[in-house]
Amino acid sequence: MKFNALKLNTAWALALISSLSVVSFSAQAQNLDYARKIVNTIASSEYWGRGYTKDGMKKAADFIVSQLPAGVIPLDGKSFLQPFDMPINTYPGAMNVTLNGVRLVPGLDYIVSPGSQGAHLSGNLIQTDDSHFKDPSQAVTFTLEDKLTWSAEQRVEPTTTIELAKSRLKSIPESYQLDIDNVMVPAFHAANIAVMVKGTVHPDRYVVMSAHYDHLGGMGPDTYFPGANDNASGTSMLLDLVHYYAAHPQHDSMVFLFFAAEEAGLVGSKYFVDHPMIDLSKIRFLMNLDLMGNGDQGATIVNATVFPDQFTMLQKVNSEGHFLPQIYSRGKAPNSDHYWFSEKGVPAFFIYTMGGPPYYHDVMDRPESLLFSRYENVFRLLVGFNSNLMIGE
């Protein structure tokens, strides 16, 4: 479904904030209750994994806009949304897999490899190695996996691959029946959300904070991937920070970017960098947030070795505040939305917390699995880092 808000203007957005009846929350800085409510909301079935079926991503975008406080403005002065189109393979319909006469449970017993074409057929399998079983007469493969980890794919392969949870397998795969629908959407309508709190001294100089709000969506009509830690938690943290900085404007403009389609290959952030709404050379630093729901084992910083001075600053803030037990250094990696910015010369970190249950890209990444034990400390760490960036102005 196309975004009805492609021409969203400030007046419409403010009206939406006051009138949208989905949820209405009040936020304070470091508000853990607010964070939990945000995660519980956008990781619920109503938002269907914030993906590509059942309008999940659009609903999430509308909800995020509804949570923006007074004092923020659209980054381009016109619309909070930056729309773009992208191809995506989806599974909105039938999702039935029978193995050796037993119907399997989607998401728990199996996932469909996200580039697979739909299939309505049956056949027999032969084992080709320790983990692969193939139908020699049809383009169907079953694989055995230690963990089911789903993704999103922008193309369709001429094959169908079913990934089986090895721990739940009752017998060696011999026969199968598939009833799977896929729909390739050549131009799915998505949108980034771009928000600014204008700086009081240097309005044309920017400190940027970002997080992707999308996740994987659904696999069939009954199974969705909640994406509580990845990345409802980062979305909640970013919204909390928006509220904080709206109430505490800084010398530099604070920019907040909620990216779409990160899970499909960093699509939203690539679109933003290719169609920037601000001068990228005026960005002092970008901090990208993901997996914010835990932190008992600390956090990891991607690009720490690329920007050692800023990493030292972050470590100093953490040490003085006793926020996290450890901050780990990691090098350059194209594993989230910071990547396209740093490729354009923008100093950028990607921070994600460590610890908690190992649920990732699976149906178990639910709100109740998040500990949030270090959420408030991570918030203070981020605010402290931003303050240190602006010291001496």
Strands of the 132-135 sheet, one edge to the other: 110-112, 160-165, 140-145, 132-135, 126-127
Query: Which uninterrupted H or E stretch holds 277?
Result: none
Predicted confidence (pLDDT) at residue 2 exceeds the cutoff of 90: no
DSSP lists the bridge partners of residue 123 as 176
Predicted confidence (pLDDT) at residue 219 exceeds the cutoff of 90: yes
Domains of the chain: 10-88+186-389 (3.40.630.10), 94-180 (no CATH)
The pair of structure tokens assigned to 371 is: 């500990």
Residue 186 CB burial class (10 angstroms; 0-12, 13-18, ≥19): exposed
> What band does 375 get if pLDDT is binned at 50, 70 and 90?
very high
CB-CB neighbours of 250 under 10 Å:
19
The pair of structure tokens assigned to 270 is: 């690539």
Q: What is the pLDDT of residue 30?
A: 59
Distance CA 9, CA 359 (A): 38
The pair of structure tokens assigned to 343 is: 């490729």
Mean pLDDT of 223-245: 98
Q: What is the pLDDT of residue 78?
A: 96
pLDDT, greater one: 249 or 22: 249
Predicted confidence (pLDDT) at residue 27 exceeds the cutoff of 50: no
pLDDT in tens, 140-150: 999 999 999 99
* Cα pseudo-dihedral 194, 200, 203, 207, rounded to 10: -60
> What band does 370 get if pLDDT is binned at 50, 70 and 90?
very high
CB 152 within 8 A of CB 202: no
pLDDT, greater one: 391 or 314: 314
Predicted confidence (pLDDT) at residue 239 exceeds the cutoff of 60: yes
Q: What is the pLDDT of residue 31?
A: 81
Share above pLDDT 90 across residues of the chain, in percent, rounded to a whole number: 91
CB 235 within 8 A of CB 213: yes
Residue 149 CB burial class (10 angstroms; 0-12, 13-18, ≥19): exposed
Mean pLDDT of 4-19: 34
Q: What is the DSSP letter of 230?
A: I
CB-CB neighbours of 342 under 10 Å:
20
Predicted confidence (pLDDT) at residue 73 exceeds the cutoff of 60: yes
**Pairing mode, if any, of strands 283-290 and 202-212?**
parallel
Q: What is the pLDDT of residue 198?
A: 98
Mean pLDDT of 24-34: 61
Q: What is the chain's mean pLDDT, rounded?
A: 92
Strands of the 119-124 sheet, one edge to the other: 102-103, 95-99, 175-180, 119-124
Does residue 144 sit in helix, strand or coil? Answer: strand
pLDDT in tens, 32-43: 999 999 999 999
Helix boundaries (H) for 248-292: 267-274
Predicted confidence (pLDDT) at residue 19 exceeds the cutoff of 70: no
Helix boundaries (H) for the chain: 10-19, 32-42, 56-66, 233-247, 267-274, 308-321, 338-343, 375-389
pLDDT in tens, 263-321: 999 999 999 999 999 999 999 999 999 999 999 999 999 999 999 999 999 999 999 99
DSSP lists the bridge partners of residue 256 as 195, 209
Mean pLDDT of 105-125: 98
pLDDT in tens, 149-197: 999 999 999 999 999 999 999 999 999 999 999 999 999 999 999 999 9
Task: Return the minimum-mean-pLDDT range out of 58-62, 207-211, 227-231, 387-391.
Answer: 387-391
Predicted confidence (pLDDT) at residue 252 exceeds the cutoff of 70: yes
Predicted confidence (pLDDT) at residue 12 exceeds the cutoff of 70: no
